[in-house]
Structure 1
């Protein structure tokens, strides 16, 4: 339970996922679709304000307003807008909320279509949602569409994809043939048009690793390579990559190689952020997306503080790095889990299930919560430079509006 205080610098908590839902199914199902409204609807009204007396807030957010957009899945954030979904019976409602706490738009999907991502075509930010092909009206035929993140206006789609959203980014894959099997070949879509940029079914010597705001990472010819989406659209793999990283130099298993996005990761949408590349949870490298610079190695997780741009990493040690990979602090760690980063504080869960607040510059412990507080414990997932924050509760996610929205 998230209720026990064990020291002045940490608080007891068992972190669990708010809700676990399957992606848009592509099995041989023939159930009728639920009644839902797929087209985004304009809302442009404030999210519901939450009574904070019922919440146990971190000290640095204890005086702020908190709103409840109804999110049950982890939000994605870009360009000051966060998107996530709630569900009622067999219908999902995706809801886009800006940093002031204003609900911009919402769109419905079948409960099986939870897969979504945020991306950019270079001119605007897009939300990519999956759906069931309206022409077929049965499960097993997945389509994807791109919507302007701020307005909900449809930019492209629906386009047919081989299966559920796989990610990271605009990556989709055919489902496994068996219940416990691995996914089939993947495709990656062009964020600007929704057209297929690469298809593993047509190029056997390539592995699609992910799409990150119009930067595509692939494993090809013994390297991890980064391509601009526009380069692949014009020239395919014959075009020049932005950078490449030899796989053998890091002793990675190319067949098991994957890329994940640290969270929070400010700047990812403009190539200033970084990604984690590796085979497992002990050999990941933190690599800057824009130029391929290696910032840190042998990691399990990482997160970047939006205010100081400091990276906090977990591996054999708990460490802090500046934006160029210079070590700021390092100390041994055992069994820590990174929960969230923001406002110069990294929140980590220790092996006892307690939340510790660590200074991102020095690693020093500080008080995280008032031990006298009661109520539902919420932990910061991200805190932006303007004070806007995403908070995770036991079964939902909250938003703290930024300075403009809290006036």
Structure 2
């Protein structure tokens, strides 16, 4: 019995120790910016932002240097009509003409510029929507983190209360068992009472160990959200947690995600329709070419100017005939999102009203349970005094004690249920 009492005193000591590091519920919430299990969502948002910047940079022309050096092992040759070079050549005669040299090179600047691409606008809008979705998903992950971390915090608070109760209850029944032992050995008590008290001691030990196991499990769960190596006590009880939450309203991010999906569907529909538009590109090159049968690349006499500029027009003729199915699919998808959005809005309104009713009922229930607990405690104390005076049997006190434990458990559960209603609904 010394060990449970020591643990209880240690727990109380941590609570009142000025040197112990405590964790308040607001400290936990403020840690959200450092939470490791949210880093993936933050990185995904940064990736989408970078992708949008890449897409925006595509509006500028691409300029790059172009250079090559080539050694022709076999000089390229093509047959040409001999009469083109010799008017006296026989009719139909063919003359092999070498049209290159052993060495040739090219160096210059290349410019490529898509002046108009019908897909570019829709692609940029899609990337913008993807960035907004990443932001919403990050906010959703942060809200889920706050909800889950708060529930984990509250679980430790309630588990601590339950464990403290189990320690006190176990210590009480150790004392009762000592009294029964003395009475039995002195011949003033029955063996039945002594046996019954020994059984209750073991039951209280089981309850104590079970409570300790629940407390350790809750502590591990909170460790998912906050490093607990230096934390010795949680400084807020359930009433303070509920007060800190105030008028917390869970944001319905699903609705925002559906709205973004609807916008994406509209952008894709416009993009499909724009695919029938022609694209216009501009290309230019400024440089020189080198031709020589000997390798003397620094001889400027073997370099010849080479440059051009062209404007290209590409007309997607097949798109006029193949886009109808894609357009129909995109239009149907948009209708689906519109219907989903209407359903979500309707359900959200109903959920809010149901939540308000549940909160009102839960608070009334807790108020009534507190009254029951006070009455059960009064009855327990009266029965304990009567048992110690020898006026009632142990079984009568056990029932009063069980009723008091039940009233405490009902309150713990009701408070946790109220917290879940506020956070999750």
**Going by fraction, where is helix more abundant, 1 or 2?**
2
Compare CA radii of gyration and give the structure with the larger one: 2
TM-score range, shorter chain: under 0.3
**Going by fraction, where is strand more abundant, 1 or 2?**
1
TM-score, normalised to structure 1's length? 0.18
TM-score, normalised to structure 2's length? 0.17
Which structure has more relative contact order (CA 8 Å, sep 6+)? It is: 2
